[in-house]
Amino acid sequence: MGERGIVPRKVKGFRDIDPVTSRLRRRLIEAATEVYRRYGFEHWDTPVLEYADALGKYLPDTDTADEGVYSFRNPEMEPVLDGRGQEVRDDANNVVMTHHVLAMRYDLTAPLARRYAEELWARDDIRSQQPSSPKPPLFRRYQYGPVFRFEAKLDPGRYREFQQLDFDTVGSTDVAVDAEACCVLSDALEATGLGRGTYEVRVNDRKLHKGLFERVGIADETKARDVLRVIDKYDKIGPSGVAAELQGGRIDPGSGAEVPGLGLPSGAASLVIDYVESCLGVEGRENVLARLESRLADTPSGREGLDEMRRIHALLAGLGYGDDRVVFDPSVARGLAYYTGPVFEAVSKLEVREPSGAVRRFGAICGGGRYDGLVERLLGLRVPATGASIGVDRLAELIARTSAAEAEARGPVLVVVMDPSRMADYQRIAAELRAAGIATEVWYGPQPKMKAQMTYADRKRCPVVVIAGGDEFAKDTVSIKDLLRGKELAGEIADRAEWLRRQPSQVEVARAAMVETVRSILAGGNA
Amino acid sequence: MGERGIVPRKVKGFRDIDPVTSRLRRRLIEAATEVYRRYGFEHWDTPVLEYADALGKYLPDTDTADEGVYSFRNPEMEPVLDGRGQEVRDDANNVVMTHHVLAMRYDLTAPLARRYAEELWARDDIRSQQPSSPKPPLFRRYQYGPVFRFEAKLDPGRYREFQQLDFDTVGSTDVAVDAEACCVLSDALEATGLGRGTYEVRVNDRKLHKGLFERVGIADETKARDVLRVIDKYDKIGPSGVAAELQGGRIDPGSGAEVPGLGLPSGAASLVIDYVESCLGVEGRENVLARLESRLADTPSGREGLDEMRRIHALLAGLGYGDDRVVFDPSVARGLAYYTGPVFEAVSKLEVREPSGAVRRFGAICGGGRYDGLVERLLGLRVPATGASIGVDRLAELIARTSAAEAEARGPVLVVVMDPSRMADYQRIAAELRAAGIATEVWYGPQPKMKAQMTYADRKRCPVVVIAGGDEFAKDTVSIKDLLRGKELAGEIADRAEWLRRQPSQVEVARAAMVETVRSILAGGNA
């Protein structure tokens, strides 16, 4: 029992990452950032902790405490600031102090907006918004690291801390940037090892939804968001379920629960369903555009959205990104509240088997879009921006579950300690192997028993152990055991006596030949 | 002005990391982890958030709120657990719930202890501590990432979020591991680019201090810690200042403040000062050991500490790590409260110039030691452990301030946009360069004015810009501007008219020769 009954445990929703997963994460991040870098994005990092007000609240899940954000009061007292950044004073002219609320970042986009706005905050020439003012500068950066979300209801396989890997362009209104973002996502996913055809980048435009609401006559934003939430259930509850929930409501046949309706007139509900169904099974960006054109071209927002998607299509086509990589899908919504134009997500089309035995499509691994309003909140100046985020842990899970090659992750060579008084010799053996670039450790455990050391080697996936006792030291040799080959042979030789006699996976070599022998085993040769 | 007067700003003590520093950090982490990996440490990661009680409180600075740790109540209600991990129930047999306190990790050692203890917690065979019980297993891991400390008084250049890069061995009592740790630190620092002779790893043993206190007759731990704190000021206040603070106190000549004394008898104070001064200017581990031997060999703890240091010395010598890399220094204390045996730190001997103009030694960049009690707190079982941590940000600062080579950090090639209607062509130019492995971006800023684009290229350290207007498209050429060479030449050609006529840093080449021309410029050739 620990001190005063402390139980060693992780916080619920958090986890430790083992060496195989750590390595996979590392590899994915390296491959994807190399693609980001090649597109001219540069690595900027921001703190894990920010002022809560500077981040804002944009998470989809607003039912939870603090709207899904881990936040707390700064232990430090600081001045209260007014909107011009000046300290607020009380009637006695004393600076008013407070503990500001801090928040752990819930994504990497809100901190980017803070960083960008902070730099411009000092520039009166930009903030004053005269016709002669310079435009907000172009800024392109990538960033990766952990983000934190307090999701009250935690689905299996979901965590409250997870890694994101973002790239963003701030300062451009041109949807050429959005088209490029689709190329970046596609290139990055392929660089991490996803085969072409196993994933697709799906593009939509929030303005199409806006056009739909203009057409249907929904002006209220909350109502609009409710409608999108109902649309999102189309796959689950079908057209009649959607129709019912848009209008008078329905009884859920599974749970028997009453689902209230949104009270739309039946004509409006039909238009919504027609929009959802218009592109079902339609292949090719051109064809999707044609369907949407006939439905939304006469609404102001729909027109804008269609023009943006046409431009994106033309640029993608010009760069050779066809329907096998980037598709248009008017059902894509993306949860975050800050998107204003094109939105995109990348999904894996591969199927995975659940622990329950059920087989399902793996689903979304990246998301992004245009958020022209996020910086405005902080700067009072509209600054266009667009970007996307790879869910590193989701992608790692996908690769671990669908690619066998990744399993190979060897541990170091282990130098067995037979005689603790010879520690200096064992350390020199290890140093010699390391000098040849071979990861090697000495056994530092408590007892010099062979069995404990072999168990350790096994647990740590060691490919080779080096053994030297009085015998070997006297002859200036070492014994080298090939554990990989040993495992193979263990299946072939059933008789224990024969095994011990032959020791087929162990050789004794001159000390001078040690490095070469180990190297040859690691390269796949036999001992 | 932002929404409701929100000011875009970072939390005090936190900072953004620019691309040059991000790259340097990345390079250091890669070089050092490669060394760690070679010694058989494997990469494990743990969450940023932990239960506060599981981490414990070990920071040196205990004057601050929550003892220097950012902590807050978990938004989630969870059962209260007893010492056996069972849910506590009230009189009505209901599970007692609470909001446990969460803490942002303040180092990577306490989470390692939690992880190790958590795994063993379930193993009754180990926890029961029978003579036949297996010993706690050997575990070697490395980890890196941000840690968080709320230091109330923030010195310039210090931050509340910083990166650590740790390696640890749990499960071994043998100080051979501590000797190895000194080798790992030395190798890792040299791998990041520190020259031999510019740094030293300083080793001490907490047991020597314990021996000193046994000799002087100080049994109280708080008093002992106070004495160490006074010793630590030796460089600043000299022997007479130390003598005064150990005894009756003194008036600080600078501030005039009264510094209370610890009330030691004068004989005890003399012994302490004699210990501190015994090794001043003494070179060579052997000589330091001889001095300490004569003073501490007759105390039980001193004897133990000296034997440990002798063994460390012998193993280091056997591996060829001489006094040029690892020294013994009895003044090394290390602030963290959990160390129990050998402690070590690596310091740079290079001098840096402060903004104030003062020149100082750069100081400590790594620290570590043996902490045999940290896991015990959680498991009720003494588990030996030892490890060390590189302060990544400190090391990055050192390298940035003392090595000119690191400054070279080029941005991408910029494709200038002269005619926005040709966006597809510009994107294709960029794609072609990228396909050749050259980081390239297209200008997506608002106006196609050349000046804004060149300012952007300059700010982003772009080495080359590619220019194509109607002229070039008609001839199937591009113009390529070498900005690096351009900057050099700008010094040589003073006359603006001549500059414009000669355009010495710009060439027009056939579109088919674009990639080769850019590549040659980047490789250092001329355009």
Q: How many distinct helices (H) and strands (E) make up chain A?
A: 19, 20
A198 Cβ neighbours under 8 A, 6+ residues apart: A348, A349, A350
Query: Across the interface, which of A7, A47, A51 has its CB nearest the CB of B161?
Result: A47
What is d(CA A317, CA A313) in angstroms, rounded to the nearest whole number?
6
What is d(CA B446, CA A137) in angstroms, rounded to the nearest whole number?
9
Within 10 angstroms of residue A161's Cβ, the number of other Cβ atoms is 18
Residues of A in contact with B441 (CB under 8 A): 39-41, 140
Closest residue, chain B, to A413 (C-alpha): B40
Closest residue, chain A, to B45 (C-alpha): A17
Residues of A in contact with B314 (CB under 8 A): 424
Q: pLDDT tens for residues B489-501?
A: 776 766 767 766 6
B411/A445 touch (CB, cutoff 8 Å), yes or no: no
Helix axes A221-231 and A266-278, enclosed angle (nearest 10)? 50
A19/B44 touch (CB, cutoff 8 Å), yes or no: yes
- pLDDT over threshold 50, residue B406: no
Tell which wins on pLDDT, A386 or B157. A386
Percent of chain B with pLDDT over 90: 69
pTM: 0.91
ipTM: 0.90
- pLDDT over threshold 70, residue B3: no
DSSP labels, B50-113: EEHHHH----S--SSGGGG--EEE-SS-EE-B-TTSPBPB-TTSPBPEE-PEEEE-S-SHHHHH
**pLDDT of res. A496:** 66
Residues of B in contact with A410 (CB under 8 A): none
B40/A414 touch (CB, cutoff 8 Å), yes or no: yes
Highest averaged pLDDT of the listed ranges A264-278, B50-64, B177-191, B325-339: B177-191
Task: Tell me which residue has tokens 């929030």.
Answer: A206
Mutating which of B18, B42, B80 best tests the A interface, going by the most A Cβ atoms within 10 A?
A: B42
A174/B377 touch (CB, cutoff 8 Å), yes or no: no
Q: pLDDT tens for residues B420-442?
A: 999 999 999 999 999 999 999 99
Q: Which CATH superfamily is domain B410-522 in?
A: Anticodon-binding domain (3.40.50.800)
What's the CA angle centered on B17, arms A21 and B2, to 5 degrees?
110
Cβ-count burial of A390 within 10 angstroms (0-12 exposed, 13-18 middle, 19+ buried)? buried
Residues of A in contact with B171 (CB under 8 A): 444-446
What is d(CA B311, CA B308) in angstroms, rounded to the nearest whole number?
5
What does the pLDDT average to over B211-235? 89
Nearest-Cα distance to chain B for A264, in Å, is 33
What is d(CA B117, CA A145) in angstroms, rounded to the nearest whole number?
27
Tell which wins on pLDDT, B207 or B67. B207
What does the pLDDT average to over A506-526? 91
CA distances from B13 to A113, B304, B472 (A): 19, 42, 51
What is d(CA A345, CA A335) in angstroms, rounded to the nearest whole number?
11
Closest residue, chain B, to A8 (C-alpha): B118
Edge to edge, the sheet with strand B49-51 lists B49-51, B101-104, B71-73
- pLDDT over threshold 80, residue A464: yes
Radius of gyration in angstroms for the set of CA atoms belonging to chain B, rounded to a whole number: 30
A412/B37 touch (CB, cutoff 8 Å), yes or no: yes
Closest residue, chain A, to B37 (C-alpha): A439
What is d(CA A10, CA A30) in angstroms, rounded to the nearest whole number?
28
B65/A84 touch (CB, cutoff 8 Å), yes or no: no
| Pairing verdict, β A49-51 and B49-51 | unpaired
A427/B180 touch (CB, cutoff 8 Å), yes or no: yes
Q: Which CATH number is associated with domain A19-51+107-404? A: 3.30.930.10
Residues of B in contact with A148 (CB under 8 A): 48-49
What does the pLDDT average to over B110-117? 96
Instruction: Give the end-to-end CA distance of chain A in Å, rounded to a whole number.
Output: 47
What is d(CA B86, CA A7) in angstroms, rounded to the nearest whole number?
10
Instruction: Give the end-to-end CA distance of chain B in Å, rounded to a whole number.
Output: 47
B47/A140 touch (CB, cutoff 8 Å), yes or no: no
A456/B137 touch (CB, cutoff 8 Å), yes or no: yes
Give me the phi and psi of A330, to 5 degrees please.
-65, -5
Going by pLDDT thresholds of 50, 70 and 90, the confidence category of residue A1 is: very low
B26 Cβ neighbours under 8 A, 6+ residues apart: A43
Q: pLDDT tens for residues A229-279?
A: 898 888 888 889 999 999 999 998 888 889 999 999 999 999 999 998 998
Nearest-Cα distance to chain A for B459, in Å, is 10
Q: pLDDT tens for residues A375-384?
A: 888 888 889 9
With contact defined as beta carbons under 8 Å apart, do B481 and B464 qualify? yes
Going A319 to A324 to A325 to A330, the CA torsion angle's sign is: positive
Query: Across the interface, which of A9, A37, A172 has its CB nearest the CB of B118?
Result: A9
Nearest-Cα distance to chain B for A322, in Å, is 15
**pLDDT of res. A524:** 82
Task: Tell me which residue has tokens 């990639």.
Answer: B515
Give the DSSP H or E segment for B302: helix B300-318
Query: Across the interface, which of B37, B314, B412 has its CB nearest the CB of A424?
Result: B314
Mutating which of B43, B44, B459 best tests the A interface, going by the most A Cβ atoms within 10 A?
A: B43
Q: pLDDT tens for residues A410-440?
A: 899 999 999 999 999 999 999 999 999 999 9
Mutating which of B4, B24, B49, B456 best tests the A interface, going by the most A Cβ atoms within 10 A?
A: B49
Going by pLDDT thresholds of 50, 70 and 90, the confidence category of residue B527 is: very low
B444/A138 touch (CB, cutoff 8 Å), yes or no: yes
Closest residue, chain B, to A154 (C-alpha): B76
A150/B42 touch (CB, cutoff 8 Å), yes or no: no
Nearest-Cα distance to chain A for B102, in Å, is 8
With contact defined as beta carbons under 8 Å apart, do A83 and A109 qualify? no
A22/B8 touch (CB, cutoff 8 Å), yes or no: no
**A-B Cβ pairs (cutoff 8 Å, strict):** 336
Task: Tell me which residue has tokens 């999102």.
Answer: A232
With contact defined as beta carbons under 8 Å apart, do B347 and B198 qualify? no
**pLDDT of res. A388:** 97
- pLDDT over threshold 90, residue B107: yes
Helix (H, G, I), strand (E, B) or coil at A19: helix
Going by pLDDT thresholds of 50, 70 and 90, the confidence category of residue B260 is: very high
Mutating which of A12, A97, A441 best tests the B interface, going by the most B Cβ atoms within 10 A?
A: A441
Going by pLDDT thresholds of 50, 70 and 90, the confidence category of residue A33 is: very high
Closest residue, chain A, to B84 (C-alpha): A1
- pLDDT over threshold 90, residue B166: yes
Mutating which of A7, A30, A381 best tests the B interface, going by the most B Cβ atoms within 10 A?
A: A7
Helix axes A176-191 and B423-435, enclosed angle (nearest 10)? 20
Give the DSSP H or E segment for A499: helix A496-502
A48/B161 touch (CB, cutoff 8 Å), yes or no: yes
Render the burial of B64-103: b for 16+ CB within 10 Å, e for the rest. Answer: bebbbbbbbebbbeeeebeeeeeeeeeeeeeeeeeebebb
Residues of A in contact with B1 (CB under 8 A): 83-84, 380
Q: Domain residues of chain A, as ranges?
A: 19-51+107-404, 410-522
What is d(CA A448, CA A463) in angstroms, rounded to the nearest whole number?
20
A180/B427 touch (CB, cutoff 8 Å), yes or no: yes
- pLDDT over threshold 90, residue A447: no
What does the pLDDT average to over A489-499? 69
Radius of gyration in angstroms for the set of CA atoms belonging to chain A, rounded to a whole number: 30
What does the pLDDT average to over B361-384? 90
With contact defined as beta carbons under 8 Å apart, do B416 and A307 qualify? no
What is d(CA B306, CA B285) in angstroms, rounded to the nearest whole number?
12
Mutating which of B114, B138, B319 best tests the A interface, going by the most A Cβ atoms within 10 A?
A: B138
- pLDDT over threshold 80, residue A34: yes
Nearest-Cα distance to chain B for A179, in Å, is 10
